[in-house]
Structure 1
Amino acid sequence: MTSRRQLLQQASAGFGYLAFAGMASGEGRMASHFPALAKRVIFLCMRGGPSHMETFDPKPELTRRHGEPGRNKGTKMLGSRWKFAKHGQSGIDIVELFPELARQADKLCVLRGMHTDNENHPQALQQLHTGSFQFVRPSMGSWTVYGLGSENESLPGFISINPLTALGGLSYYSSAFLPASTSATLLGNANQPGAKLQLGNITNSRLDNVAQRQQLDLLQAMNRDLLAQTGDPRVEGIISSYELAFRMQGELPRVMDLSSESKATLQLYGADKSPTETFGRQCLLARRFAEAGVRFIEISHMEWDLHGSLQSGMTRNCSQIDKPIAGLLHDLDQRGLLEDTLVLWGGEFGRTPDDATQDGRGHNNKGYSMWMAGGGVKAGHIHGATDDLGIEAIDGKVHIHDLHATMLHLLGLDHERLTFRYGGRDFRLTDVKGKVVKEILA
């Protein structure tokens, strides 16, 4: 006869991975502070810092000064090798490397005056995700789920596809001191083909649903006893995580199954062939997750840190993401999802106008570009500017804290009121700073 201890060990083994992977509870945390323009976020994270002067911020003066001495000894000014053109009725400048995205120009709200506090990748990425590069703080996805919960009780509220796991990357998706249930569920990694993307241990080969439910009931009864004795919120997070993990066994594989998508849809995303297949499938999954009620979805694309291979790297990267992102925007729009889905694109910082190799750019946190689309932002709009060489934001400056404040505002959350009491003080995503960029609100 199986003992109570053995049943507990079996149940823990069966549900442990899913629980500690950071499942987000489907229960809402609180009502929004005011009517929301967006219900969810899809963040397209370009790890490494895309060059703004090779994407959305043309610099003719830099091109004119190509080859002149740079700001630092041994460097020369480096003009862009690619041409820009104005697209759509809005006339937004987009580099020729993005021909498909250029057709979606009138959906974009380009932020050319971005700036942040650190020019090192780990710290800048951490500030982009959490608002702080000095301390471990909750991810913006965790804050979103903490404030609004998930729209689907059988799926996580926060999912990261192809997450950044190196250089302290797991902290970018952590709930930190927020309830553990608001952490991200991580799908895949940088080396995993899109067709094989899946969550580990989502099925149980030993037990059917009835037997799993019996084991889980026993485990949860013991967890509730422990919660009553200790009041530890981590136990509460584990309880909700186990329950969500059980429900996910039926729901998540269905949402991740792309076999129901038409050939035309796969082609729209470039999910049917290389070089766009991997990122195309990830973007298509993002749409399916958004449609199913996931609150915050992040997709990462790597290798934008182009110090000595700018020409080949930009060509490769843009060819991989151009069609998938254009397909995502078009598909969200035609399904009526773009109006309440905030799409955010960008990396942790920008690049410098000068270089020693003449085929690369250094790190630049003082001025760079990101863009938003849908979710209540002005469509076909450019906000802010960098100087003539792209060194520093000089107009319409948007700090990372301002970006976070604006994102929360679009979700119906006041960044100054969305707080959590920890260590004797009230913490928030924007720390003690940040302002909503009202100029970009539709």
Structure 2
Amino acid sequence: MEKEILEQGLNLNRRKFLSRLSLGLGSAALGSLLVPDLFSGRSESEDAIMAALPHFAPKAKRVIYLFQNGAPSQLESFDYKPLLQKNYGQDLPESIRMGQRLTGMTAGQEKFPLVGSYFDFQQYGESRAWISSIFPHTASIVDDLCIVKSMHTEAINHDPALTFFQTGAQVGNRPSMGSWLSYGLGSENSNLPAFCVLLSRGKGNGQGVYSKLWSNGFLDATHQGVQFSNSEDPVLYLKDPKSMSRDERRKMLDQIAAMNDLSFREFNDPAITAKVQQYEMAYRMQTAVPEITDVSKEPDSIIKLYGPDCLVPGTYAANCLLARKLSESGVRFVQLYHQGWDQHDNLPNQMAMQAKDVDQASAALITDLKQRGLLDETLVIWGGEFGRTNYCQGKIQVENYGRDHHPRAFSIWMAGGGVKSGMVYGETDEFGYNIAENPVHVHDFQATVLHLLGIDHEKLTYKHLGRRYRLTDVSGKVVKDLIA
């Protein structure tokens, strides 16, 4: 029998063959449920990589990523530039722009008139960080934040820039950051996936989000992000049909596992066992998800902290509260996308509304995690895919201006999870156009996030089509100055 299987060209070594040969059909099905990686199909070198994780003591156990989709302007949030007010309407000096690539929306402009923020700024906390007046709740927790003002990226349009942040590449079919962490670290709760995705929509101009952003790419399908919805069923197709009992579902899954094991023995395709594992996860989630998504037991103090919108499924506030509950329950990576930050015109009005959507709930999440003793082990990230230009797009108007895409310099903030608190890192020039000190590239950011989770970004790899891939591709360095 061993000779026949080897002649079929299956990718089995002797140790794996003998271990599987000893299993009968029923025990094989049971084994795939009790030991999810038993038939994963990983190579021995990949097994060694996984066995070594974490590579060193982690500072964070999990991540909540509050992605502000559409790119909020750093000049109306965290990067105060009084020179833009002083030089209002003057043309951006060519010595500052240096022939930077422009989008099609401003490439035809003959002038690039500078425009300062419509909103006031003040310094807050011991860090004396400058915060815009439209983020009062964020200002109240500024000493818990690490504000990075020197982020930069390569992409100048939304889709590639967003994909770059999430997957480390501007093209699709790469695993997202959450999938990499699921692959490397797994979930802390066997009844919940390691990677969950929450979507919300603000009142400003929106940019779409797509499932490729939480795709498993070339990793096993078990590492794909599980999207929660604001419908009656938070996870679609999770419930049993009304005509099926819990015991009947259990018997059906056992029979499916047995049949899939036969297919695996014939084809040795890891996707088969990944499918079985997904069925099993869905079965376990049937009891875990309703409890997680039920906010009726949250005390009034928490509802007041997040604001009344946290009781409305699908809002940013509701998703922030759900993110806390998922993270508290052991979900490794919670990805929240909030759409509506694409202000090419009417920026003062739209950005004020967007900030009102997210400000209280973002600050509440930090406060909530902190009072529960969870902030130190939970890394929270807030930011978009790039920044906004210091010049006006189109006709300049004091109360109705817009800003184009700007990948050269923008701001994000992080909190908890081993990053320094009460810190402002990096600086832009007086025009807010170029980075003046401590640049942080997207791959540097990704390498630092993995480092906080105890992972050497150069060692978390996966071999696909003859090449070893990683989240940071072939670059990236840990920004140690950000680490407490």
Shift of 1:385: 1.2
Distance verdict in 2 for CA 1:90–1:408, change over 3 Å: same
| 1:316 lines up with 2:358 in the alignment | no
- Equivalent residue number for residue 432 of structure 1: 474
Q: Does 1:404 align with 2:446?
A: yes
Cα offset, 1:75, TM superposition: 3.5
> SS at the partner of 1:260?
coil
Match of 2:410 among 359, 363, 368: 368
Q: Equivalences for 1:105-144 in 2 at 5 Å? A: 105-144=142-181
Counterpart position of 1:171: 212
Q: CA deviation at 1:135?
A: 4.4
Question: Partner of 1:63: helix, strand, or coil?
Answer: helix
1:104 equivalent to 2:145? Answer no
Equivalent residues of 1:275, 1:320 under 8 A apart? no
Higher alpha-carbon deviation: 177-186 or 155-164: 155-164
CA contact (8 A) 1:271 1:324 kept: no
- The one-letter amino acid of 2:285's match is M
- Give the secondary structure class of the aligned counterpart of 2:236: coil
Task: Tell me the secondary structure at the aligned position of residue 218 of structure 1.
Answer: helix
Match of 1:185 in 2: 226
Query: Does structure 2 retain, via aligned residues, the 8 Å contact 1:276–1:324?
Result: no
1:43 partner amino acid: Y
- Paired letter, 2:236: G
2:361 partner amino acid: P
One of 342, 357, 361 as aligned partner of 2:395:
357
Aligned partner (choices 78, 89, 102) of residue 67 of structure 1? 89
What is the alpha-carbon distance in structure 2 between the residues aligned to residue 83 and residue 116 of structure 1? 27
Per-residue deviation at 1:121? Answer: 0.3
For 1:219, the equivalent position in structure 2 comes to: 256
The gaps in structure 2 that reach 5 residues or longer are: 1-48, 94-108
- Which sits farther off after the overlay, 71-80 or 269-278? 269-278
Structure 1 residue 76: deviation in Å? 1.5
| 1:43 maps to which of 65, 79, 100 | 65
Distance in 2 of aligned mates of 1:177 and 1:346: 27
**1:292 matched to 2:300:** no
CA distance in 1, matches of 2:407, 2:92: 18
CA distance change for structure 1 residues 101 and 163 in 2, over 3 Å: closer, same or farther? Answer: closer
1:319–1:135 CA distance, 2 compared to 1 (3 A): closer
Match of 1:422 in 2: 464
Distance 1:168 1:341 in 2: 25
Deviation string 1:315-359 (CA, Å, 9 cap, x unpaired) is 100011111011100000000000000000100000001112331
How far, CA to CA, are the matches of 2:130 and 2:65 in structure 1? 22
Give the number of equivalent residue pairs. 410
Give 1:146's aligned amino acid. Answer: Y
Q: Indicate if the aligned counterparts of 1:57 and 1:112 stay in contact, CA closer than 8 A.
A: yes
Tell me what 1:14 maps to.
none
SS at match of 1:162: strand
* In 2: Cα distance, 1:252 partner to 1:383 partner: 38
Aligned-residue RMSD, C-alpha? 2.0
Distance, in Å, in 2 between the alignment partners of 1:42 and 1:237 is 25
- Kindly provide the amino acid, as one letter, of the partner of residue 235 in structure 2: L
**Structure 2 match to 1:267:** 304
Q: Is 1:308–1:357's contact at 8 Å kept on the other side of the alignment?
A: no
- 1:232-288 Cα offsets, whole Å, 9 max, x none, are 111121111111000000111111111110111111011457999921111000000
Q: Which runs of 5+ in 1 are unaligned?
A: 1-27
Is the alpha carbon distance of 1:398 and 1:202 closer, same or farther for their aligned partners in structure 2, counting shifts above 3 Å?
A: same
Work out whether residues 208 and 339 of structure 2, in 8 Å CA contact, stay in contact via their aligned partners in 1. no
**For the structure 1 residues 52 and 168, does the alpha-carbon distance in structure 2 shift closer, same or farther, using more than 3 Å as the test?**
closer
Identity %: 40
What SS does structure 2 have at the residue aligned with 1:86?
A: strand
User: What is the alpha-carbon distance in structure 1 between the residues aligned to residue 279 and residue 313 of structure 2?
Assistant: 36
Which residue matches 2:33? none
Distance, in Å, in 2 between the alignment partners of 1:131 and 1:341 is 22
**Could you state the TM-score of these two structures normalised by the residue count of structure 2?**
0.82
Compared CA separation, residues 37 and 197, structure 1 to 2 (3 A): farther
Q: Describe the shift of the 1:109–1:209 C-alpha distance in structure 2 as closer, same or farther (beyond 3 A).
A: same
CA contact (8 A) 1:271 1:279 kept: no
Q: Over residues 184-227 of structure 1, what are the superposed CA-to-partner deviations in whole Å (9 max), with x where a residue is unaligned? A: 00112xxx5xx857111221122111000011111111111111
Is contact 2:156-2:407 (8 Å) kept? yes
**CA 1:29–1:244 in structure 2 vs 1: closer, same or farther (change >3 Å)?**
farther
Name which of 369, 376, 381 aligns with 1:344.
Answer: 381
1:69, CA displacement in angstroms?
Answer: 2.4
For residues 262 and 202 of structure 1, what CA distance do their matches in structure 2 show? Answer: 28
Change (3 A) 1:316 1:90: same
Q: What is the CA-CA distance between 1:434 and the residue it aligns to? A: 0.2
Instruction: Decide whether aligned partners of structure 1 residues 105 and 168 sit closer, same or farther in structure 2, where only a CA change above 3 A counts.
Output: closer
Aligned to 1:209: 246
Deviation at 1:166, TM superposition (A): 7.4
Question: Contact conserved, 1:276 with 1:319, CA < 8 A, in 2?
Answer: no
Contact 1:163-1:186 at 8 Å conserved across structures: no
- The residue aligned with 2:102 is none
For 1:4, the equivalent position in structure 2 comes to none
Quick check: which has more Rg, 1 or 2? 2
